[in-house]
Amino acid sequence: MRNIVCMLGFVLAGMEVHAQECGPRAEPLVRVHLENFMTVPTAALARAKGVAAGIFAGAGVRLEWKEGEPRKSQQAASCAGLADEVLEVQFDETAATRFPRDAMAYAVPGKAGICIHIFYNRVVAAHSRDLTPVLLGHVLAHEITHILEGVARHSEDGLMKAHWSSSDYMEMSQHSLPFAEEDVQLLRAHFHRPALSAGR
C-alpha cells in the first residue's frame, strides 16, 4: 500500500511539472540541445549560454539549454499555447575547407537533427581568448536567429551583421550586440505564425 501511495505521489508530481511546462507563457521558448563532445571548455560554454540567453531575452524570447540529442517523445511537442522550438547545435573542432576562412559557424534552416554547426577553433582564433566565451555566445545567438528567421539574410547593424567589425568586438566586450529592429520583427512574426500556434 505504501508503494502505491509513493507511486501516486510521483505521478501527481509529474503532472504538476507538466502543467507548469505546458501552461500559458508570456514569451516563446526555444529549447537548444548542445552536442559538445568536450570541444568547448565547461566554463566558456556556461558564459556563452548566458550571453546568448540575454540577447534573446531582450527580444522577449526565452532560451532553454539541454545537453545531447533531444528525445523523440519530447514533452514540449504536445504543449498548447505558444509553440516551442527545438534546435540542435554541434560544436566542431575544425571547419571543412569549403567554408570561407572567416566563417565561424553555419546554420541550415528547416533541417531535421543538427541544424547548427559552430567551428570552435575559429571562434577562439577570431579575437583574444578573453573574449572567446562572449564571442561564442554571440555566434550561438546569430545562428539560432538564422534558424528562427528561416531565411538567408543579414542586417546592416547589430547581432545579425554578415561580418563583425573591430568596433563590434569592442562593443561585445562591454555589452551584447542588440538585434536590429527588422530582426525583432522577423522573430515576432515567426513565433506568431498560424501554423506554429497549432503546433508542428
Higher pLDDT pick, 69 / 39: 39
Domains of the chain, by residue range, sit at 27-197
d(CA 101, CA 153): 19
Share of the chain above pLDDT 70, in %: 76
Q: For the full predicted model, state whether its pTM sits above 0.85.
A: no
- pLDDT at residue 18 is higher than 70: no
pLDDT of residue 136 exceeding 60, the answer is yes
- Residue 2 pLDDT: 41
pLDDT at 12: 31
Statement: residue 91 has pLDDT above 70: yes
> Per DSSP, which regions of the chain are E strands?
29-35, 62-67, 85-92, 105-107, 114-119
| pLDDT over 70 (residue 94) | yes
Instruction: Give CA–CA dist 97/63, Å, rounded.
Output: 32
Where residue 4 falls among pLDDT bands split at 50, 70, 90? very low
Task: Please determine, for residue 53, whether its predicted confidence score (pLDDT) is greater than 90.
Answer: yes
Smallest CA-to-CA distance from 183 within 174, 167, 157 is with: 157
pLDDT digits (tens, 9 = 90+) for 96-130: 889 999 999 999 988 888 899 999 999 999 999 99
Class of 27-197 in CATH: alpha beta
* pLDDT above 50: residue 14: no
* Residue 100 burial class via C-beta count within 10 angstroms: exposed 0-12, middle 13-18, buried 19 and up: exposed
